[in-house]
């Protein structure tokens, strides 16, 4: 259902997945044939048990048991412990991955991409751009903990990213950040979702952007709010809400004089969102269960996004500077007209059919969810216009993940393209829109992890780019988008981990040794996340910084 393999760390982070038990039951029923095939050997043994000779030969027994034990020993001691569970399944198989899940992760060298480092160039008269860094001497910072010291050594060799021509263009403007449940550009139509269409075509245009979240919604949100990769070990700790995130968006915008708010139109405690949002600075977060349930239909599958503006806009619209974070839910699957499974799927189907669209039921129900997101945007825009604040407000809309309840055939029906099911299905738009700003184009490869650093740069907010895995998409850092199974997209080409194949772009000169260094960098991104989160590194280095 989620299109990735579960490991034990992720199971610990999925304690509330039972809310979707109906979907899980349907998944089992739909695949019952294949599951029953696994039972055929047992069934045959039961049927023909009287004709099978169970007398054991010691010699034959040794011939069987010795190879099995040898294989288990080899897997336990000699197979590599891959950072990514999906990559491990490809390389070691399911049994090898199961055993490796109990092993300590291998030490991975943290890689600084060499072509990030460059001399500052004057981009504004009499102004030399500075690096986005804090005044921290990592060489003098020492720790007895190996994970922390490894990060100290790594950051001491990194320069971070430079300011650029877009640094501070939104300084002191308001920000509305929306994590749109399963949002994808393939559902956007001018006559069905006019607000999304306007923002996509009149705002910033990112032609090589991917919603590469891993571990479902909680993983996508982790990547968005921390700028790090959604490793299952890190997510388990993230959910506790006990780590220190001084560069969390809620915290950092409050320090810059903003009124900060967060909202979600579903259960406010789902996946411990009430805990981990507080750790990144959203300490007045409201959802179903701590406020919304008094004013809207809550705890259904699913709530209407268009109900949120009426309940929330008055909280912030009169503030001098505000940062508002919305997490939507109407785009959630399963995509069906069955109101027992999804109340949104059929909500706008007549409107879709009246416009002449003849998609299958799943695609129609999916677009219905995106219309709800669009209606929510329309109401917020109207309120901002009436208050004279639209030109001073920036919208950023990010998907938590691609709509994985749709299969690749459904996606190809919506896109009219022939996308494949690892990289292609994650192609998306990152929306950054301000009504008073001219259109900007960016063709650098990027993903969800890059959004928060990009926002900080655009708003002229001080942060340390060395300690965030994602990079400002307008910076001097090379473009790089990492996927859950270890695949990646860069400015030079696409690597398909499940095929072990790197496909370079046409008419692009590939530097010598590029693939090996880029693949090592991908592993480094994942390792850096775990080292930061599991060691609560920000707490350590901020104490040192003080």
In this predicted model, what pLDDT tens digit does every residue of 277-295 receive, in sequence order? 999 999 999 999 999 999 9
Same domain? For 88 and 194 the reply is: no
Give domain status of residue 132, yes or no.
no
- The answer to whether residue 138 sits within a structural domain is no
Based on the domain organization, do 258 and 386 belong to the same domain? yes
189/296 same-domain check: yes
Whether 59 and 193 share a structural domain: no
Which range has the worst mean pLDDT, 89-103, 186-200, 207-221? Answer: 89-103
**Separation between Cα atoms, residue 300 and residue 410, nearest integer Å:** 25
Given pLDDT bands bounded at 50, 70 and 90, which one contains residue 122? very low
Residue 264 per-residue DSSP state? E
Residue 492 located in a structural domain: no
Of 55, 79, 100, the one marking the end of a domain is 100
Of the given ranges (3-7, 184-188, 319-323), which has the lowest mean pLDDT? 3-7
Assign 3-class secondary structure to 287-314.
EECCCHHHCCCCCCCCCCHHHHHHHHHH
Among residues 85, 100, 115, the one where a domain terminates is 100
Residue among 34, 377, 26 nearest 198 (CA): 377
DSSP state of 127: B
Q: What are the structure tokens assigned to 191, written together?
A: 């006559």
Please check the confidence at residue 112 and state whether its pLDDT lies above 80: no
For residue 150, give Cα distances in angstroms to 144, 477, 535: 10, 22, 11
Between residues 311 and 215, which one has the greater pLDDT? 311
Q: In terms of domains, do 426 and 281 share one?
A: yes
Q: Do 63 and 201 have their domain in common?
A: no
Contacts of 362 (CB under 8 A, 6+ apart): 334, 335, 336, 405, 406, 410
Residue-averaged pLDDT of the chain: 90
Find out whether 458 and 169 touch, Cβ atoms under 8 Å.
yes
237, 375: one domain: yes
In a domain, 3, yes or no: no
The answer to pTM > 0.85 is: yes
Which tops the pLDDT comparison, 505 or 70?
505
Q: Are residues 290 and 389 in the same domain?
A: yes
182: left (phi over 0), alpha (psi -120 to 50) or beta: left
* 71 vs 254, more confident: 254
Domain tally, the chain: 2
Strand boundaries in 155-212, DSSP class E: 174-180, 205-206, 209-210
Domain finish residue from 100, 132, 164: 100
Structure tokens at 53: 């000779």
Q: Are residues 59 and 199 in the same domain?
A: no
**Is 322 contained in some domain?**
yes
Dist CA 148 CA 190 (whole Å) = 50
Residue 286 falls inside a structural domain: yes
What CATH number is attached to the domain comprising 424? 3.40.720.10
Task: Residue 347: name the closest of 137, 192, 164 by CA.
Answer: 192
CA 463 vs CA 151, 279, 444, 456, 529: distances in Å? 17, 17, 21, 7, 17
Q: Domain for residue 149, yes or no?
A: no
Domain around 302: 174-464
Asked whether the predicted pLDDT for residue 250 surpasses 60, the reply is yes
474 domain-assigned? no
**For the residues 489-514, what does the mean pLDDT come to?**
93
Q: How confident is the model at residue 117 (pLDDT cuts 50, 70, 90)?
A: very low
């Amino acid at each position: 259902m989620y299109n990735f393999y579960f490991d034990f760390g992720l199971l610990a982070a999925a304690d509330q997945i039972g809310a979707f038990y109906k979907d899980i039951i349907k998944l089992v029923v739909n695949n019952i044939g294949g599951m029953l095939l696994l039972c055929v050997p047992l069934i045959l043994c039961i049927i023909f048990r009287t004709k099978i000779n169970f007398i054991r030969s010691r010699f034959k027994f040794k011939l069987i048991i010795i190879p099995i034990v040898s294989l288990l020993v080899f897997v336990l001691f000699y197979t590599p412990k891959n950072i990514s569970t999906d990559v491990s399944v490809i390389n070691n198989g399911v049994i090898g991955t199961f055993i490796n899940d109990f092993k300590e992760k291998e030490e991975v060298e943290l890689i600084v991409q060499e072509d990030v480092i460059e001399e500052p160039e004057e981009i504004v008269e009499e102004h030399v751009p500075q690096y986005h860094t804090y005044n921290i001497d990592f060489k003098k910072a020492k720790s007895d903990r190996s994970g922390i010291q490894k990060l100290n050594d790594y950051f001491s060799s990194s320069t971070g990213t430079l300011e650029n021509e877009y640094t501070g263009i939104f300084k002191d403007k308001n920000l509305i950040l929306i994590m749109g449940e399963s949002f994808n550009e393939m559902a956007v139509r001018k006559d069905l979702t006019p607000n999304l269409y306007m923002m996509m075509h009149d705002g910033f245009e990112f032609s090589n952007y991917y919603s590469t979240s891993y571990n479902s919604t909680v993983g996508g949100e982790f990547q968005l709010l921390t700028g790090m990769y959604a490793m299952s070990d890190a997510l388990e700790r993230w959910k506790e809400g006990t780590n220190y995130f001084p560069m969390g968006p809620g915290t950092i915008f409050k320090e810059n004089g903003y009124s900060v708010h967060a909202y979600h139109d579903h259960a406010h405690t789902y996946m411990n969102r009430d805990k981990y949002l507080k750790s990144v600075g959203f300490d007045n977060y409201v959802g179903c269960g701590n406020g919304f349930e008094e004013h809207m239909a809550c705890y259904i599958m699913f709530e209407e996004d268009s109900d949120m503006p009426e309940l929330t806009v008055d909280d912030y619209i009169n503030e001098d500077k505000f940062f508002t974070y919305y997490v939507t839910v109407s785009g959630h699957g399963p995509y069906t007209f069955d109101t027992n499974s999804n109340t949104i799927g059929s909500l706008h189907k007549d409107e879709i059919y009246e416009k002449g669209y003849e998609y299958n039921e799943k695609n129609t129900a999916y677009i219905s969810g995106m219309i709800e997101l669009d209606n929510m945007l329309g109401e917020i825009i109207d309120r901002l216009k009436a208050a004279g604040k639209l030109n001073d407000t920036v919208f950023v809309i990010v998907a938590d993940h691609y709509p994985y309840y749709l299969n690749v055939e459904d996606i190809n029906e919506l896109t009219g393209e022939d996308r494949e099911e690892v990289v292609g299905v994650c192609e998306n738009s990152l929306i950054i829109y301000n009504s008073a700003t001219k259109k900007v184009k960016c063709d650098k490869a990027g993903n969800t992890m890059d959004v928060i650093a990009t926002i900080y740069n655009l708003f002229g907010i001080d942060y340390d780019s060395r300690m965030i895995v994602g990079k400002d998409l307008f910076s001097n850092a090379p473009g790089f988008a990492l996927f859950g199974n270890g695949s990646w997209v860069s400015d030079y080409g696409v690597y398909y981990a499940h095929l072990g194949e790197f496909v370079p772009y046409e008419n692009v000169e590939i530097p010598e040794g590029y693939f090996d260094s880029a693949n090592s960098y991908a592993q480094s991104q994942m390792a850096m996340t775990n080292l930061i989160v599991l060691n609560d590194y920000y707490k350590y280095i901020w104490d040192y910084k003080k």
